[in-house]
Structure 1
Amino acid sequence: MPILSFGSRNIDLITGQKTMTIRKLWKKPLNKGDRLHCYWNLVSKERRKIFEAEVTDVEILNFEDIIKNDDLAQEEGFKDSLELENEFKKMYSDKIKADTAFQVIRFKKLPIEEWEGEKINEKAMITQRADILFDSGKYHKSEMCYTAALKFDPEDIYILNKKGDNLTRLGRFEEALKCYNDALKIEPQNEFIINNKAIALLNSGQTEKALRCNDLAFKINPENNVVLYWRGFILEMLGKNLQALDTYNKVLELDPSNPEVWNARGNLLSDLGKTEKALESYDKALELVLEDEANATAWNRKGNALLELGRLEEALECYTEALNLDSKNDIIWGNRGVVLMELNRFKEASDSFNKALMINPKNDDVKVLLDECLENL
């Protein structure tokens, strides 16, 4: 029973696009017709069976022949034969020479009813892999997996919705809308999917349509926090700021522990010129969030509000906190430089501007500020 282990990066395996692999020649070489049991990460705790396959062809090649063949390298998933050569040398260390024999194994995936060993829920396995890829931001690969999972069940609401979310993040809005519409044919009153459709419409620039779509979700459940949050955001995009503010307030009545909504409320209040109230919102958001890089933005916004109020030392503290969380953000370094200029600390300000320009040499605003700062040194 030959077993093949693949790294989980080989997503093409489950989409059916990868039907070949190159392995060092075994003592007992494979032959056409042999059965393969294929796993992901065989020697790790994340081991997963992915399918069984039948060998359709085996070709024996020396390493020196393989590393001259770009087409073969690309079929194996590498950019070119040079990348394959480098990876294989790492993989096999010093046990690989020009005349080392490899087997190029071609195979066809077998339907589950023909498997000899343990049978798995392929749809569940592929969907789980898609979710992992989606959560880690690998949207091109996760979209491939969701598409593969839908082949098992084209009417799976969860997968249709997740594929729509995935396509929205890839900017493929028409395809995303089709996924949501297909899901809504099956569950027309699903407020979450309707809201996701509204988000796709918003991101594609169809803001009025997004609001009308959100209206439908809102009518189904006017106390759904997710629907309400996006309703506020869409209203804000349409310039209906007071309605948006009322909506954010409604969300916070239902769930006062949501830092994202406190932040959104703070931004809107700041735009409305209500800086003191905005500051209260930012403070509340910062109380609720954990210390991670994403929250550098919250510290930065609080610093901006304090700068606007002329509370310079407090603003400087906020920018310092923000940079402790995200030291490669040229915008925050620039803002820190501004407050240092206001404090007449021009040498420190110029240092901040220079750090901003090291990160982003194209930041023209910082260039202007640095010139002005240097005139005062």
Structure 2
Amino acid sequence: MPILLFGSRHLELLTGDKTTTIRKLWKKPLNIGDRLHCYWNLVSKEREKLFEAEVTGVEIIKFGEILKNEDLILDEGFEDASELEVEFRKLYPDHTQEESLFQVIKFRRLPRKEWEGRKIDEKAMITKRADILFDLGKYKDSVMCYTSALRFDPQDVYLLNRKGDNLSRLGLFQEAVQSYDDALKLDPNNEYIWNNRAIALLNYNQPEEALKSNDEACRINPDNVLALYWRGIILEILGRLEEALDRYDRVLELDPSDPEAWNARGNILSQMERTEEAIESYDRALELCLDETPDASTWNRKGNALLELGRLEEAINCYEEALKLDKDNDVFLSNLGVTYMELSRFQEAMEIFRKALAINPHNEDARILMDECLENL
């Protein structure tokens, strides 16, 4: 019973797009018609069976020839020959000479009913993988997995909603809305999916349509705090500040401990030039942050609130605490740099923006602000 082990780079296995793999030549070579049992990470605690397959072709090839075969390298999930060579030298330290023999195995995935070994719930396995990738922020890979899981059940509302969430995070808002629409055809009274649809439309610069979608969420459950919060954001973008303020107030009636709502309320009051009330809201948001056990994100949020209040030295302390916990976060560094700029400490700010750009060269805010510092030196 030949076993093939695969790492997480091979997500195309889930979609059925990957049908070849390269392995060191075994003492007993494979033959066409042999049965393969394919697993994720067999030697780890997370090992999972993927599927069973039938060998449809075997080609014996020298390692030197593999390094010259661009198509084969790409099919195996590597960007170029050097990346493949590094990985194979780790896997086969004594078997990567120019003349070392490998087998290129072609296979056909078998339907579950034809498996010889333990049958698994393929949909559940792929969904679990998708959820993990989503939580890791690997949205492109995650949406691939959710799409693959939907092949087993195209009417799974959870999968359609999560696929929409992935597409939104990839900036594919039209496709996200379509996925939410597919979910809502099956579950038209799901307030959370209506609200997710509203967020996608808002990000797609369609605030009026977003409000209509949010209307449905609030109609189904007028006390859904998340939907009410996003209603406030949509109304704020539409310039309907009094209505937005009313929605944030309603959120805080239902959950007085929501720091994001207090902060949003402060922002609205600032726009309405009700400064004293805004400061009270910002202070309340800050108090709630202080009640938490601070992690890097919390320290950053405290710094933002203090920056809003003009309490700049305190904001600097918060950003420095955040960076102790997450020293390579270019966003935290940028926030710290802005605070130094507010204090007219342009040389220090410039050095901080330079660090942020070293970490993330695509941080345009840091680049622009660094140029502004140069003009003020």
**TM-score normalised according to structure 1 size:** 0.89
CA distance in 1, matches of 2:87, 2:312: 54
**Could you list the runs of 5+ residues in structure 1 that have no partner in the other structure?**
none
Closer, same or farther: CA 337–100 of 1 in aligned 2, 3 Å: same
Kept after mapping to 2: 8 A contact 1:173/1:200 = yes
Deviations 1:69-121 (A, max 9, x none): 11111111111222211211122224421111111111010000000000011
**Could you list the runs of 5+ residues in structure 2 that have no partner in the other structure?**
none
Query: What is the 5 A alignment of 1:35-74?
Result: 35-74=35-74
CA distance in 1, matches of 2:176, 2:342: 44
Closer, same or farther: CA 2–61 of 1 in aligned 2, 3 Å: same
Deviations 1:264-290 (A, max 9, x none): 333333434424223323313413544
What amino acid maps onto 1:99 in structure 2?
E
Query: What is the 5 A alignment of 1:254-269?
Result: 254-269=254-269
1:152 is displaced (CA, Å) by 0.8
Match of 2:349 in 1: 352
Deviations 1:204-248 (A, max 9, x none): 111001001101110110011121111111111111222222212
RMSD: 2.2
Closer, same or farther: CA 313–49 of 1 in aligned 2, 3 Å: closer
Kept after mapping to 2: 8 A contact 1:11/1:141 = yes
Match of 2:173 in 1: 173
1:130 is displaced (CA, Å) by 0.9
Kept after mapping to 2: 8 A contact 1:263/1:298 = no
Match of 1:336 in 2: 339
Match of 1:295 in 2: 298
Query: What is the 5 A alignment of 1:13-24?
Result: 13-24=13-24
Closer, same or farther: CA 57–178 of 1 in aligned 2, 3 Å: same
Query: What is the 5 A alignment of 1:1-377?
Result: 1-273=1-273, 274=275, 275-307=278-310, 311=311, 313-324=313-324, 327=327, 328=330, 329-341=332-344, 350-360=347-357, 363-372=367-376, 374=377
Kept after mapping to 2: 8 A contact 1:302/1:318 = no
What amino acid maps onto 1:363 in structure 2?
R
Closer, same or farther: CA 165–316 of 1 in aligned 2, 3 Å: closer
CA distance in 2, matches of 1:312, 1:114: 67
Kept after mapping to 2: 8 A contact 1:66/1:73 = yes
Kept after mapping to 1: 8 A contact 2:31/2:55 = yes
**TM-score normalised according to structure 2 size:** 0.89
Q: Mean alpha-carbon deviation: is it higher for 213-222 or for 90-99?
A: 90-99
Deviations 1:9-28 (A, max 9, x none): 21100100001110101111
CA distance in 1, matches of 2:335, 2:18: 45
CA distance in 2, matches of 1:318, 1:66: 53
Q: Mean alpha-carbon deviation: is it higher for 87-96 or for 199-208?
A: 87-96
Q: Secondary structure at the match of 2:79?
A: coil
Closer, same or farther: CA 319–113 of 1 in aligned 2, 3 Å: closer
List 4+ stretches of structure 1 deviating above 6 A: none
CA distance in 2, matches of 1:288, 1:208: 37
CA distance in 2, matches of 1:267, 1:320: 24
Kept after mapping to 2: 8 A contact 1:262/1:284 = no
Kept after mapping to 2: 8 A contact 1:21/1:106 = yes
Aligned residues: percent identity? 55
CA distance in 2, matches of 1:315, 1:220: 41
Q: Secondary structure at the match of 2:49?
A: strand
Kept after mapping to 1: 8 A contact 2:60/2:103 = yes
Closer, same or farther: CA 25–200 of 1 in aligned 2, 3 Å: same
Deviations 1:141-195 (A, max 9, x none): 1111111111111111111111111111111122111111111111111111111
Closer, same or farther: CA 242–272 of 1 in aligned 2, 3 Å: same
Q: How many residues align?
A: 364
Kept after mapping to 2: 8 A contact 1:139/1:169 = yes
1:131 is displaced (CA, Å) by 0.9
Closer, same or farther: CA 58–369 of 1 in aligned 2, 3 Å: closer
